[in-house]
């Protein structure tokens, strides 16, 4: 079997690239191809679709490729966590998906809105009617001189003339939402009279006041302790289940994978791996949760090896790949000598 080149944990199982080509240009071309392939085809169906998403920032002649061909599909009604270290591109992705920023290339679609090349009018409509947003800083989410009820009622009233059914009046909806996030008894309190967790749960209610289809939350529990963060996640799970709103939570906290069914990890502006949790009934009749981690294979056949695997086997520069009947074997390149079929002692990993 051939041994495709590999560097920095990114394995190219399919296509072949030119070493001389500028990375950004390659990514742009890949994204353009992905976009062309995606055009009009419903195999990229999903409530939220990113395909070959690229965002390049240019400041004073320096280019930063914040998103390097990111692929992500989120189903309607899903609750997804996007996890990544600082600088991995989480906020860039969220800013694009919420209509605050525009991608350089690729596909970004939410609820049927194509976010690439959208007019200013359409963008405003999108942000007003489709998106709800929760920021990390509570001060950005709530007006300090209004009570919890008034904070929720304000956007609900603005939206009521436009989208909400007549019978679902702003006041009713406000109390319904506050109840859902467990704040019905604190409706009269101002943000300063609520705990950090209560403020963030109130922010969730505010973000839902305009009856959006998707809710984006950027590090909503970043300033909270673990127990309080759990309560905020509990509120997000409730509104997701009760209202069917699609929820995407971005965080650097790897432990949130335990709070959601699907958590996608971003590394260097790309989706690298994902953890899925499911419930099953154990032999003693109790319900147990099972977590399975997957590496994400993009359309060009590339995947990122988990950093822990790369470190454990001291993989660097290049590795050897062998196609076995039902899995691909990855071995340190330094152990493979030309003309030798000797296997490394204890080295190598494999993927099924
Ligand atoms: N407006 C900008 N101009 C130039 N570079 C930017 C800009 N915004 C982001 N970047 C760069 O893009 C990369 C991704 O940044 P981003 O903020 O999306 O990461 P992040 O995962 O959200 O990090 P954090 O958790 O620290 O907010 C970083 O290298 C960052 O420096």
Domain termination site, one of 265, 288, 304:
304
SS3 151: helix
Q: Count the domains in the chain.
A: 2
Q: Is the same domain home to 265 and 284?
A: yes
Which CATH number fits the domain that encloses residue 125?
A: 3.40.50.300
pLDDT at 274: 81
pLDDT at 351: 54
Q: Is the same domain home to 54 and 30?
A: yes
Q: Is the residue at 196 inside a domain?
A: no
Question: Tens of pLDDT along the chain (352 residues)?
Answer: 444 444 445 554 544 445 445 666 665 665 555 555 444 444 467 899 999 899 999 988 899 999 998 999 999 999 999 999 989 999 999 999 999 999 999 999 999 999 988 899 999 999 989 999 999 888 889 999 999 999 999 887 777 665 555 445 777 889 999 999 999 999 999 999 999 999 999 999 999 998 999 999 999 888 788 888 889 999 999 999 999 999 999 998 877 777 888 899 998 888 888 888 777 787 888 877 777 778 877 777 778 787 788 888 888 888 888 888 888 888 888 754 444 444 444 445 555 5
What's this model's pTM, rounded to 2 decimal places?
Answer: 0.78
* Tokens 């996890």, residue located: 83
Q: Is the same domain home to 292 and 221?
A: yes
Report CA(70)–ligand 1 centroid distance (Å).
15
Partner residues linked to 275 by β-bridges: 263, 293
Report CA(89)–ligand 1 centroid distance (Å).
6
Question: What is the C-alpha to C-alpha distance for residues 272 and 252, in angstroms, rounded to an integer?
Answer: 14
Cβ of 92 below 6 Å from ligand 1: yes
Q: Is the same domain home to 218 and 331?
A: no
Backbone CA torsion sign across 153, 111, 98, 277: positive
Which of 56, 65, 68, 88 to mutate to test ligand 1, by most ligand atoms within 8 A of the CB atom? 88
pLDDT at 333: 85
Which of 89, 135, 136, 270 to mutate to test ligand 1, by most ligand atoms within 8 A of the CB atom? 89
Q: Is the same domain home to 327 and 277?
A: no
pLDDT at 74: 93
Q: Is the residue at 14 inside a domain?
A: no
Q: What is the DSSP letter of 98?
A: T
Atom of ligand 1 nearest to the CA of 92: 18
The interface pTM score, or ipTM, of the predicted complex is 0.96
pLDDT at 307: 78
Q: Is the residue at 335 inside a domain?
A: yes
Task: Answer whether 27's CB lies under 8 Å from 89's CB.
Answer: no
Helix axes 196-207, 170-180, angle to 10 degrees: 140
Q: Is the same domain home to 294 and 233?
A: yes
Q: Is the residue at 195 inside a domain?
A: no
Q: Is the residue at 299 inside a domain?
A: yes
Please spell the DSSP secondary structure of 176-220, one letter per residue: HHHHHTT-GGGTT--GGGS-HHHHHHHHHHHHTTT--SEEEEEST
Domain termination site, one of 304, 319, 337:
304
Q: Is the same domain home to 216 and 347?
A: no
Q: Is the same domain home to 262 and 245?
A: yes
Report CA(312)–ligand 1 centroid distance (Å).
29
- Residue 333 is part of which domain span? 307-351
SS3 126: helix
Residue nearest to atom 5 of ligand 1 (CA): 57
pLDDT at 1: 42
Q: Is the residue at 187 inside a domain?
A: no
Q: Is the same domain home to 319 and 252?
A: no
Q: Is the same domain home to 229 and 292?
A: yes
User: What is the distance between the terminal CA atoms of the chain, rounded to a whole angstrom?
Assistant: 17
SS3 31: helix
pLDDT at 24: 62
Would you give the distance in Å from CA 1 to the centre of its chain? Answer: 35
pLDDT at 186: 93
Report CA(62)–ligand 1 centroid distance (Å).
14
Report CA(88)–ligand 1 centroid distance (Å).
7
Cβ of 136 below 6 Å from ligand 1: no
Q: Is the same domain home to 260 and 339?
A: no
Atom of ligand 1 nearest to the CA of 64: 5
Which of 85, 90, 136, 137 to mutate to test ligand 1, by most ligand atoms within 8 A of the CB atom? 90
Q: Which residue, 260, 258, 212, 349, is CA-closest to 79?
A: 260
Q: Is the residue at 279 inside a domain?
A: yes
Q: Is the residue at 10 inside a domain?
A: no
Atom of ligand 1 nearest to the CA of 89: 18
Q: Is the same domain home to 224 and 327?
A: no
């Amino acid at each position: 079997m051939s041994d495709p080149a590999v560097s920095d944990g990114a394995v190219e199982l399919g296509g072949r690239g030119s070493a001389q080509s500028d990375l950004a240009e390659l990514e742009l071309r890949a994204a353009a191809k992905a976009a062309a392939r995606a055009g009009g085809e419903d195999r990229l169906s999903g409530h939220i679709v990113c395909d070959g998403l690229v965002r390049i920032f240019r400041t004073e002649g320096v280019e930063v490729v914040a998103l390097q061909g990111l692929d992500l599909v989120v189903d309607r009604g899903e609750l997804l966590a996007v996890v990544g270290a600082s600088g991995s591109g989480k906020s860039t992705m969220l800013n694009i998906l919420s209509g605050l920023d525009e991608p350089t290339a690729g596909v970004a679609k939410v609820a049927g809105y194509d976010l690439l090349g959208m007019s200013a009018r359409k963008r405003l409509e999108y942000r007003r009617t489709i998106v709800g947003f929760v920021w990390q800083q509570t001060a950005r989410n709530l007006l300090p001189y209004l009570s919890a009820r008034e904070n929720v009622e304000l956007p609900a009233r603005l939206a009521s003339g436009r989208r909400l059914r007549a019978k679902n009046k702003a006041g009713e909806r406000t109390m319904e939402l506050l109840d859902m996030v467990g704040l019905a008894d604190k409706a009269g309190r101002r943000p300063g009279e609520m705990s950090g967790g209560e403020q963030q749960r109130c922010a969730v209610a505010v973000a839902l006041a305009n009856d959006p289809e998707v809710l984006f939350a950027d590090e909503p529990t970043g300033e909270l302790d673990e127990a309080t963060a759990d309560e905020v996640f509990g509120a997000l799970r409730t509104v997701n289940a009760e209202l069917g709103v699609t929820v995407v939570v971005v965080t650097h906290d790897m432990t949130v994978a335990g709070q959601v069914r699907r958590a996608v990890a971003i590394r260097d502006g790309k989706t690298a791996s994902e953890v899925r949790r499911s419930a099953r009934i154990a032999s003693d009749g109790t319900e147990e949760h099972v977590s399975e981690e997957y590496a994400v294979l993009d359309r060009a056949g590339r995947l990122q090896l988990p950093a822990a695997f790369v470190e454990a086997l001291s993989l660097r520069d290049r590795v050897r790949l062998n196609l076995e009947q039902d899995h691909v074997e990855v071995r340190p390149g330094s152990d493979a000598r030309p003309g030798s079929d000797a296997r490394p002692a204890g080295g190598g990993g494999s993927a099924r």
